Structure 1
């Protein structure tokens, strides 16, 4: 009953605050004032409902936290999806096989006509999956905030566009070159900011992204300026250029293979020595340095490898769209990729994939709510940070446990 009274009070307060905006409208054509009373009723009802749900969720969360503290057997708790996948390799393999089969047959079950809209949407979503996994190296694993990550994406795209335009190099030659050039830019960015952290690091990376966009817009002779570069060649298939739906299907399989390679390599990096150094750097930089970890090499490798994947997928982006301009690489894109990493879970590969697909596919298939997209996006971010700050799927670390039963038997035998 207390929650209901408080929610009702919040609803009435919102009705009072939004009264001038939601109720009163001046019709300048007829010179009359229109009173829209139904709007304020909806505002009050929605505000009261959201307030009640908010208080109910907070109460449930507090109850679960108290129960967790009082539970004398933590091993009996319900396992999350990430824990089950981490603890059961067979389940992981089956899940990967099912997901792989669904991804492979997707282009052939979505549409049997010349309409390849769904394939193009999925190509764009998978491109952002690779971007999210690349930024997950820098931000999720190493803990180095990067607000200008989309600049590396632009470097890869413009590398392919310029090499194809001036040197007539093909897609498959430019694909690794785009990644290597972006990696070089990652090293260039990494050297000046080795000693920076926190807000200062965020400001420098933000400035790097802004400078890159300004150069692309104003250097007309080299990059085409604001008009961009058109007529970029699509990926060729053994020397043949495909057209229409088959070209989109071919590009889809290219980016799908790139996603698979990214998942495999990032997973191996995460469980390697350099991956452990990244995670130690994320947890406590001072303690990490005190333990003898080379800070310069660790930070530079994180920036370079994260930029490499952005450059690779930037080449695919340019080839898929056949046109790029500076407006294709804005700060909002960097913020979107960063949101994918945060919402998915810092360092969690599966979480980043789910978040990337969700944030790219839902706005596309819910165009009826396009004007409310940023409002919903902001609300989701706020709720996630309050109720699940670790992300959709928090990062699961490998655990090495001793068999206590064997140790006890061994101890008894030795005692005898």
Structure 2
């Protein structure tokens, strides 16, 4: 495979890992976050520290990065999840920017100058395998009792509480799992770029992840996959337009938001059952059209 295309696919897979976690939090639990770049930073720097400074194998280092991000999210969640409406979103935004500013001043990780010399362990094979495992785990979680409780919290928080669902508990679980996914994404990015710098995890990164989730469709894992592939590769496809490519990228996102406010997939999932139903419907339409012509 061409190295350039392979690079785009790897970046899409890294973004997808973070987007899957954010999809659980935003799409299925109904909590908007603008701090996921902070969780990516924690996971990335932790995983890099494990491989560079402690010579740990790649996969255990990724898992430790995920645990670190999840642990921090538990602390943040305990302090902020009782906030209502937009206040939680603002709190996560503050957390993301605070994480970046702290890393700017931690010389152990290179500070604002960055941290070079991270081993290049991330490749297309391990990104694809990790993404498949992440999708399967997330799909099974959503279909479980716990996933249904998260969806109930998204639909009507007060009714869920009356029905006996521990709303705070499920919000916290969703946030911790979401942060763990973002932490793995950060670790993959660190070992693909072989360089980390705090500005890589600025507010624009969190915004990009949120846009991908909304673009793909809230409450759709398939939409997250499609959104990550489309929006990661689109700026590269438009590279020939030089300075105008980001303008066209933004315009394309706006058009989709206006024409399909529910996102590309709109809660729809690609499953064997849904595909079978789709093909049977298409077959039925063809038969009706052929009968009409006769």
Quick one: distance in 2 between partners of 1:272 and 1:390? 24
Q: Do residues 368 (structure 1) and 240 (structure 2) align?
A: yes
- Match of 2:62, SS? helix
Query: Which of residues 136, 142, 153 is equivalent to 2:29?
Result: 142
Correspondence for 2:254 among 376, 382, 385: 382
Q: Distance in 2 between matches of 1:396 and 1:150?
A: 27
1:35-74 matches, within 5 Å, as none
How many Å apart are 1:232 and its aligned residue?
Answer: 1.1
Of 370-379 and 319-328, more deviation after overlay is shown by 370-379
Which deviates the most, 340-349 or 163-172? 163-172
User: Greater CA radius of gyration, 1 or 2?
Assistant: 1
Unaligned segments of structure 1, at least 5 residues: 1-109, 236-249, 400-416
- Cα offset for 1:396? 3.9
Superposed CA deviations along residues 243-291 of structure 1, whole A, max 9, x for unmatched, are xxxxxxx711000001101110110011111111111111111111111
Q: 5+ residue gaps in structure 2?
A: 274-294
User: Which structure is richer in relative contact order (CA contacts within 8 A, separation 6 or more)?
Assistant: 2
Q: Distance in 2 between matches of 1:141 and 1:330?
A: 25
**Local SS of the residue matching 2:13:** helix
Matched, 1:265 2:137: yes
Let me know the Cα RMSD of the aligned residues: 1.8
How many residue pairs are counted as aligned between the two chains?
271
CA shift at 1:233, angstroms?
Answer: 2.0
Residues 92-145 of structure 1, C-alpha deviations (whole Å, 9 max, x = no match):
xxxxxxxxxxxxxxxxxx33xxxx222122111111111111110111110101
Aligned 1:25-40 pairs, distance under 5 A: none
Deviations 1:224-247 (A, max 9, x none): 111121111233xxxxxxxxxxxx
* Alignment TM-score, normalising by the size of structure 2: 0.87
* 1:301 has 2:173 as partner: yes
**Shift of the alpha carbon at 1:208?**
0.4
Does residue 177 of the first structure (1) align with residue 64 of the second (2)? yes
Deviations 1:301-355 (A, max 9, x none): 0100001111112111111111111121111111111011001100101111111
Does the alignment pair 1:229 with 2:115? yes
